[in-house]
Amino acid sequence: MIYLKSQDALHTFKIQVLKGQKDVEGMEDIEAIEIELTVKPMTTPVKLAAQARAKKRIEQESGDITDVDARASLQIAYTIYELGAALIVGWSGVGDENGKEAPPTPERIEALLDIYPVGEEFFKELCKMQAEKLFAKKDSGVSVSGTSNAAEAPNTAKPASSSI
């Protein structure tokens, strides 16, 4: 069994959402709202289960959609909703219809992730967390003589002979 130090640690990240309203003159009054999400780390079984639930949901709710691109887009959206329901354990900056702080529930999580760009940013952050976890392991960084730096070794290649 492999165990990473941060495997069970909760992660917190912030997402900014722009909120606009039209005033009397038709001009928009735009303000930035910051949402803070606390999430469990994503694991392979959680991701695969979310994808399976999303596929099942498409069949139940949208089985008559034959357009391949539309089905693929729904698969992504529903996977994000399912990942949110499985991984979001807390938040701030999210309220109920009366403006009071509301605890996350699957329905509220889906409603939040349905707001652009919250769902997209949530998914990007999850992927970024996974990549950082992968590269945080000891000795997994880029080699000093990797593709970005020239290797410090003598050239021992023999010149090509021309026999044409």
> Do the Cβ atoms of 4 and 133 come closer than 8 Å?
yes
pTM exceeds 0.75:
no
Closest CA to 122 of 92, 98, 147, 88: 88
What pLDDT, in 10s, does the model give residues 109-139?
999 999 888 999 999 999 888 787 777 765 5
> Do the Cβ atoms of 85 and 110 come closer than 8 Å?
yes
What pLDDT, in 10s, does the model give residues 141-162?
555 555 544 556 666 777 776 6
What separation in angstroms does the CA of 125 have from each of 3, 62, 80, 105, 121?
A: 22, 28, 12, 20, 6
Spatial CB neighbours of 84, under 8 Å, sequence gap ≥ 6: 109, 110, 112, 113, 119, 122
- Could you give the CA distance from residue 99 to residue 14 in angstroms, rounded to a whole number? 19
Q: Where are the domains of the chain?
A: 11-19+29-135
What separation in angstroms does the CA of 109 have from each of 53, 59, 115, 122, 155?
A: 16, 22, 10, 11, 59
What pLDDT, in 10s, does the model give residues 13-66?
888 887 766 555 665 667 788 999 999 988 889 999 999 999 999 999 887 888
Q: In the numeric block, which tokens belong to residue 14?
A: 């912030």
Give the pLDDT of residue 16: 83
